[in-house]
Amino acid sequence: MSGGKSPTIRTITLHVPAEGNDWISIKSIEEASEVLSLLKKSLEEKGYTIWSTRIALPPPPQSVSIDRILDVRDKVEKGIFIAVGGFYDDDPRINSLNEIASNNMFSYIAVKDHAKLGDLAFTLLKWSLDTPQIMVRIALEFSGNREFLTPYFPITATPRHLQEPVYTIALLYPNWIIDNIKEPSLSEFSRTVREAVDKVNQDAERTAGEHGIPFAGVDASLSPWMSDSVARLLELVGGCSLESYDCIPVLYSVNNVLNTVGKVGFNEVMLPVGEDDYLKEKAQKGTLALEDLVHLTPYCLAGLDMVALTLSASQLHSLFKTLHLIARIKNRELGFRGVMLPPDYPEEGVKLERFGFIPIVKLKSEVIRKSSEEKRGGYKGQGPLIIP
């Protein structure tokens, strides 16, 4: 491979299958932790840096109580992330998903009925205002898919038809791509991504053979972590500005590459604002507005992710209706994960553990109005101005 050093493995995720109609057993959870340790050690010996390890579970049947779901956390060592699967929007247990998130586990709501979106907006807003830090572990999925095999959290759930554990891999590689391309072009991007994923696939298959754990594939999605910025990579490769229309063809072309290379999961560009320093900078300056992110979702995104918003319940409902329609048009998975703050929130953002400061992504009307107020000397820094 060009550049020598292998890309960072963002996560190794072990997908644990259901046991009949009884969800999963404590024994299978304990064994999953041991398997992850073996896989991690084996891939490290092959020269990889492993950023995290995760366990994804199948959707809990209706008979499984929230208390039983919460018991899982105590059976897994602290450093391993756990996703407990998806819940349909008519499942009464979704009213307790904030308890799951408060216990450091991930889950999501699969939206089947657009009539539920108003109630979901109200519920997520209430949870976020009460305990904003838990919202990084809860998502909505607008295509209604409750079984989705991907290493990315929160929208992942082991399919019910899976008969044995399998593992998947996600990469953290925007800066690695920049370091390894010969020139900033889409053709060089394509070559470098294919080389990276092919190499990881080969080593992961070898590891699978060594330990008897099937490897399902790499989710080739481009996902950032702070200075390892997807947004900066896209602008470099495409010679465009992310918030302008000339970046849409670039994003579409990049997604085509990712979709042909990855075997499982989203295989799309991900732009989680709270995980990308360059996106944070754009949001803080006001050059990136909420509408900019929303208008990109039909072309390139797995969803609207890690955004801090100051919207009323009715505005959030409208946003959810728009994302639900985009998911139908796009005809594939599309998610939402966000921290909702009061409309009169006095700060320019929120600080969360692990993610640091996340600036509020404003509406374009807010950005324009704030700019106008500041030019006239009338803006007093009293928080975002919401236009009904």
pLDDT digits (tens, 9 = 90+) for 105-142: 999 999 999 999 999 999 999 999 999 999 999 999 99
Mean pLDDT is lowest, of 3-7, 314-318, 372-376, for: 372-376
pLDDT of residue 61: 94
> Does domain 8-275 fall into CATH 3.40.1390.20?
no
Confidence of residue 385 (pLDDT cuts 50, 70, 90): very low
Confidence of residue 21 (pLDDT cuts 50, 70, 90): confident
Confidence of residue 371 (pLDDT cuts 50, 70, 90): low
Confidence of residue 380 (pLDDT cuts 50, 70, 90): very low
Q: In Å, how far are 63, 110, 262, 340, 352 from 161, measured between CA atoms?
A: 19, 18, 21, 36, 37
pLDDT digits (tens, 9 = 90+) for 329-361: 999 999 999 999 998 898 999 999 999 999 999
pTM to 2 decimals? 0.92
Query: What does the mean pLDDT of the chain come to?
Result: 92
Q: What is the mean pLDDT of residues 172-188?
A: 97
What is the percent of the chain with per-residue pLDDT over 70, rounded to a whole number?
Answer: 93
pLDDT of residue 198: 97
Domain ranges in the chain are 8-275
pLDDT of residue 1: 40
Phi, psi (deg, nearest 5) at residue 250:
-65, -50
Distance separating alpha carbons of residues 153 and 229, to the nearest angstrom? 19
